[in-house]
């Protein structure tokens, strides 16, 4: 259960990124967050992973109040999340295998298990043959798939994905979304920020539309998404 | 770049430490040898009977500075003189058999508890009635105490300065490395790595720098010191007499283990603590 209550975020520059946000997301839900560039989608995800602090209001994730969490517990909290970033955030000085394995090392998975899990995961995202490559030797889409592999490998409680398909062609994007749906089917809460109308339409899931730091529409899955196209 | 400079400075620092350590250890050793092998020798006026000399000896033995005294009678002096100078040619000494040329050479060899008390002892001996001559090596002995202190102070000052420079350079190296890997560190943090996981590589780097900075000068000292022992051995082994016995350089094995242990502890210690605190300051989470 994720509860976002009366959250306001004003950046130092005086940028009102989030004006007032109230969102509830149940366990195991699959939610799209859409909206214009600059509407505060990434800021919302960053607050959920405690990279950015809300100016006011509070966020509760699976019973933990993020604003009351002591700093030293932040790493532990983040290990329960899977995160896919707009800019991938891969470790440039490590190869693909190491990038994915690193996430497992962080949570203390025994090396023997890592050796089994990582190739399996890389196979799932279709990068088995390139495990020795470094991030700068991969295309944007391939890097994004590495990032997804890294986010999924620890079976997170919540998966936060900021434009996971932004750099992928249609077929690749569909494959990734299928992967996310699969992970969601296993019980992981999935929150995906996207600009792609096609993906939103094809998945028939809950869609939260943001504009200027506020929720302007929140449609349950199955509803016809005649959301304001001008906001995508 | 910075790492090279750091290793070089720590190396210089530890090399100087090794140098001073060797020098001080050797001065100490020489002083020790001097204390135990160089005594003060007292000769007495001609015509003093053995009884008178022995009585005077008892008086001297009362002095608190005295550790040990040996009486060397005229006959003993003559015998050891013969053994030293007529070795293999005993017949040459036969001519003196009836008439000891060192008849008035009865003496006391006095060893002191502490070499620094030599001056008081010598003036006391000279003031005694019946004492003809007091043999002692003033410069050598007086020099040691001062030299030792001087080298000690000098080494503390220079090593201290170099230590400060190495601390600064290591800190800088780690700082630059951390800045260079800033994004990497942020990513690790986002994935949920603890401070420990993020900082450990930097501390390891610091320790490696320190270790390299200790091993290089230790190797250099090992080689150089060995050379010097050889050189001094060749140069002075022939010269007999007092100096030959005293000017003996400590063998490398005698001081290297301690020196190596301290140097390694110094290098690794600096590397560890400096990188640890630098990275702690730098990577606040
Ligand atoms: N670190 C920051 N400092 C100051 N302002 C920021 C910062 N990050 C984001 N902003 C501002 O906050 C607002 C929301 O940004 P955010 O990145 O959340 O938008 P977004 O919805 O993710 O946009 P996009 O779809 O382009 O990724 C923008 O106006 C942006 O300029
Ligand atoms: Mg964004």
Q: Each residue of B214-261: pLDDT tens digit?
A: 999 999 999 998 888 888 777 766 544 444 455 567 888 888 898 899
Q: Which two tokens stand for residue B215?
A: 């091993």
- In the predicted model, what is the mean pLDDT of residues B35-64? 80
What pLDDT band is residue B95 in, cutting at 50, 70 and 90? Answer: low
What pLDDT band is residue B1 in, cutting at 50, 70 and 90? Answer: low
For residue B174, what pLDDT is reported?
87
User: What distance in angstroms lies between residue A46's CA and the mean position of ligand 2's atoms?
Assistant: 10
For residue B37, what pLDDT is reported?
67
For residue B282, what pLDDT is reported?
75
Nearest chain B residue to A147, by CA: B191
3-state secondary structure B266-279: HHHHHHHHHHHHHH
Q: Are B127 and B61 in contact (CB under 8 A)?
A: no
Residue A46 forms contact with B (CB below 8 Å): no
Q: Which two tokens stand for residue B162?
A: 């170099």
For residue B92, what pLDDT is reported?
65
- In the predicted model, what is the mean pLDDT of residues A38-64? 94
What pLDDT band is residue A27 in, cutting at 50, 70 and 90? Answer: very high
Which B positions 147-186 lie with beta carbon below 8 A of chain A? 181, 183-184, 186
3-state secondary structure chain A: CEEEEEEEEECCCCCEEEEEEEEEECCCCEEEEEECCCCCHHHHHHHHCCCCCCCEEEEEECCEEHHHCCHHHHHHHHHCEEEECCCCCCCCCCCHHHHHHHHHHHCCCCHHHHHHHHHHHHHHCCCHHHCCCCHHHCCHHHHHHHHHHHHHCCCCCEEEEECCCCCCCHHHHHHHHHHHHHHHHCCCEEEEECCCHHHHHHHCCEEEEEECCEEEEEECCCCCCCCCHHHC
For residue B226, what pLDDT is reported?
86
Q: Are A149 and A125 in contact (CB under 8 A)?
A: yes
Probe ligand 1: pick from A9, A10, A11, A86, max atoms within 8 Å of CB? A11
- In the predicted model, what is the mean pLDDT of residues A34-60? 94
pLDDT at A104 > cutoff 90: yes
A74 vs A231, residue with greater confidence: A74
Q: In the A/B pair of chains, how many CB contacts fall below 8 A?
A: 45
For residue B241, what pLDDT is reported?
43
- In the predicted model, what is the mean pLDDT of residues B26-34? 75
3 state DSSP class of B183: helix
- In the predicted model, what is the mean pLDDT of residues B64-85? 78
pLDDT at A157 > cutoff 60: yes
Q: Which two tokens stand for residue B250?
A: 């400590």
Query: B158: how many CB neighbours lie within 10 A of its CB?
Result: 16
Nearest Cα residue to atom 30 of ligand 1:
A38
For residue B130, what pLDDT is reported?
81
Of A167, A143, A156, nearest to A76 by C-alpha is A156
For residue B243, what pLDDT is reported?
47
What pLDDT band is residue B90 in, cutting at 50, 70 and 90? Answer: low
pLDDT at B169 > cutoff 70: yes
Contact: B184, A75; criterion CB under 8 Å: no
Distance of alpha carbon A180 from alpha carbon A186, whole angstroms: 10
Please provide the DSSP assignment of B116-128 as one string. Answer: GGHHHHHHHHHHS
Nearest to B191 among A76, A93, A106 (CB): A106
Q: Which two tokens stand for residue B249?
A: 């350089």
Residue B138 forms contact with A (CB below 8 Å): no
For residue B140, what pLDDT is reported?
62
B34 vs B254, residue with greater confidence: B254
Of A28, A70, A75, nearest to A49 by C-alpha is A75
Ligand in closest contact with the CA of A85: 2
What pTM was estimated for this model as a whole? 0.69
Distance of alpha carbon A28 from alpha carbon B116, whole angstroms: 87
Least confident window among B140-149, B172-181, B197-206, B238-247: B238-247
B158 vs A16, residue with greater confidence: A16
For residue B30, what pLDDT is reported?
76
For residue A159, what pLDDT is reported?
95
A8 vs A176, residue with greater confidence: A8
Q: Are A32 and A201 in contact (CB under 8 A)?
A: no
B141 vs A149, residue with greater confidence: A149
A2 vs B140, residue with greater confidence: A2
pLDDT tens digits, residue range A107-143? Answer: 989 999 999 999 999 998 889 999 999 999 998 888 9
Which protein residues are within 6 Å of ligand 1, measured from CB?
Answer: A 11, 13, 15, 17, 35, 37-43, 86
- In the predicted model, what is the mean pLDDT of residues A145-150? 92
Distance of alpha carbon B163 from alpha carbon B13, whole angstroms: 6
For residue A6, what pLDDT is reported?
94
- In the predicted model, what is the mean pLDDT of residues A192-215? 91
Mutate which: B191, B199, B202, B285, vs A, most A CBs within 10 A: B191
Q: Which two tokens stand for residue A127?
A: 């990068």
Which contiguous run of DSSP H or E holds residue B131? strand B131-135
- In the predicted model, what is the mean pLDDT of residues B189-194? 88
Nearest chain B residue to A47, by CA: B190
pLDDT tens digits, residue range A176-194? Answer: 898 899 889 999 999 999 9
- In the predicted model, what is the mean pLDDT of residues B169-188? 86
> ipTM of this model?
0.81
What pLDDT band is residue A81 in, cutting at 50, 70 and 90? Answer: very high
> Of all residues in chain A, what percent carry a pLDDT higher than 90?
70
Nearest Cα residue to atom 22 of ligand 1:
A42
> Of all residues in chain A, what percent carry a pLDDT higher than 70?
95
Nearest chain A residue to B182, by CA: A91
User: What distance in angstroms lies between residue A213's CA and the mean position of ligand 1's atoms?
Assistant: 10
Looking at every residue in chain B, the average pLDDT score rounds to: 80
How far is the alpha carbon of B151 from chain A, nearest alpha carbon, in Å? 49
Of A149, A173, A152, nearest to A163 by C-alpha is A173
Pairing relation of β-strands A2-10 and A56-61? antiparallel
pLDDT at B146 > cutoff 90: no
Contact: B190, A51; criterion CB under 8 Å: yes
- In the predicted model, what is the mean pLDDT of residues B106-114? 80
> Of all residues in chain B, what percent carry a pLDDT higher than 90?
12
- In the predicted model, what is the mean pLDDT of residues B69-93? 73
């Amino acid at each position: 259960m994720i509860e976002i209550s009366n959250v306001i975020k004003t950046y130092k520059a005086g940028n009102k990124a989030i004006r007032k946000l109230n969102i509830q997301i149940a366990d195991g839900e699959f939610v799209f967050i859409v909206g214009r560039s600059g509407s505060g989608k990434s800021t919302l995800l960053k607050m959920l992973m405690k990279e950015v602090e809300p100016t006011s209001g509070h966020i509760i994730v699976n019973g933990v109040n993020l604003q009351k969490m002591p700093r030293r517990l932040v790493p532990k909290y983040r290990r329960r999340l899977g995160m896919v970033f707009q800019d991938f955030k891969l470790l440039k000085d490590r190869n693909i295998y190491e990038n994915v394995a690193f996430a497992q090392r962080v949570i203390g998975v025994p090396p023997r298990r890592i050796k089994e899990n990582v190739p399996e995961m890389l196979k799932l995202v279709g990068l088995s043959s390139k495990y020795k490559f470094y991030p700068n030797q991969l295309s944007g889409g391939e890097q994004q798939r590495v990032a997804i592999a890294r986010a999924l490998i620890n079976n997170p409680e919540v998966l936060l994905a900021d434009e996971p398909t932004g750099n992928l062609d249609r077929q690749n994007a569909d494959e990734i979304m299928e992967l996310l749906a699969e992970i969601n089917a296993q019980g992981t809460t999935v929150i995906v920020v996207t600009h792609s109308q096609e993906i939103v339409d094809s998945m028939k899931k809950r869609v939260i539309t943001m504009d200027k730091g506020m929720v302007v529409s929140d449609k349950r899955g199955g509803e016809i998404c005649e959301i304001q196209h001008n906001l995508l | 770049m910075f790492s090279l400079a750091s290793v070089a400075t720590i190396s210089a620092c530890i090399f100087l430490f090794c140098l001073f350590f060797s020098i001080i250890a050797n001065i100490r050793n020489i002083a020790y040898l001097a204390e135990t092998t160089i005594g003060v020798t007292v000769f007495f006026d001609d015509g003093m009977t053995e009884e008178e000399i022995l009585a005077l000896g008892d008086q001297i033995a009362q002095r608190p500075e005295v550790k040990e005294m040996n009486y060397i009678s005229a006959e003993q002096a003559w015998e050891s003189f013969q053994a030293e100078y007529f070795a293999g040619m005993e017949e040459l000494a036969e001519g003196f058999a009836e008439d000891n040329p060192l008849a008035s050479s009865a003496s006391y060899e006095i060893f002191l508890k502490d070499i620094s008390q030599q001056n008081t002892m010598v003036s006391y001996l000279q003031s005694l009635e019946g004492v003809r001559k007091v043999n002692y090596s003033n410069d050598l002995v007086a020099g040691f105490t001062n030299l030792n202190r001087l080298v000690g102070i000098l080494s503390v000052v220079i090593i201290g300065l170099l230590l400060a420079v190495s601390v600064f350079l290591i800190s800088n190296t780690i700082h630059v490395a951390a800045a260079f890997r800033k994004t990497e560190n942020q990513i690790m943090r986002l994935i949920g790595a603890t401070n420990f996981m993020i900082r450990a590589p930097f501390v390891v780097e610091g320790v490696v720098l320190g270790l390299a900075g200790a091993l290089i000068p230790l190797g250099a000292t090992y080689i150089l010191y060995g050379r010097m022992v050889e050189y001094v051995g060749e140069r002075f082994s022939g010269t007999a007499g007092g100096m030959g016995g005293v000017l003996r350089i400590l063998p490398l094995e005698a001081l290297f283990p301690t020196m190596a242990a301290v140097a390694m502890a110094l290098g690794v210690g600096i590397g560890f603590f400096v990188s640890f605190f630098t990275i702690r300051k730098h990577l606040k989470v």
